[in-house]
Amino acid sequence: MINKVIVWKATNAYGETCHFGIESLAKAWAKEEGSVEKIDGICRDFKIASINGITRFDVDADNALFDLIGGLKSFVLCGYNHQGEEVFQSTVADGADALWIMERCKLKLLNIIDE
């Protein structure tokens, strides 16, 4: 299996290495004494463990989107590109339906705090 993913190689102060899909998690593992290196490209037979839940660490956007391939009926995506500009993409043609999806997901996000 071939996947195009971004992987972060963390090396701790003792020279041990570990690979992560989340840069901030790699930095936390390597600590201040260690280092983190971005490995960009094709990874062959590389097993990626995804975090499908709540985390205190930011998740790489490309990896998160890659995990969703084939699993969505429709989506509304809001975010920022690398230049800091707002980005909006929707597979739902009707603006009112897209806004309804966003509001339902906003409610779900707000309710996570109560769980």
Q: What is the pLDDT of residues 27-85, one digit of tens each?
A: 888 999 999 998 876 555 555 555 555 666 677 788 778 878 888 999 999 999 999 99
Residues in the chain: 115
CA 29 from chain centre, in angstroms, equals 18
pLDDT band per the 50, 70, 90 thresholds, residue 4:
low
Q: Is the pLDDT of residue 25 over 90?
A: no
CA dihedral in degrees (63, 67, 68, 69; nearest 10)? 100
Q: How far, in Å, are 66, 94, 106 from residue 22 at the CA level? A: 14, 34, 24
Say whether pTM exceeds 0.85: no
For residue 64 the two structure tokens come to: 């998160």
Amino acid of residue 13: A
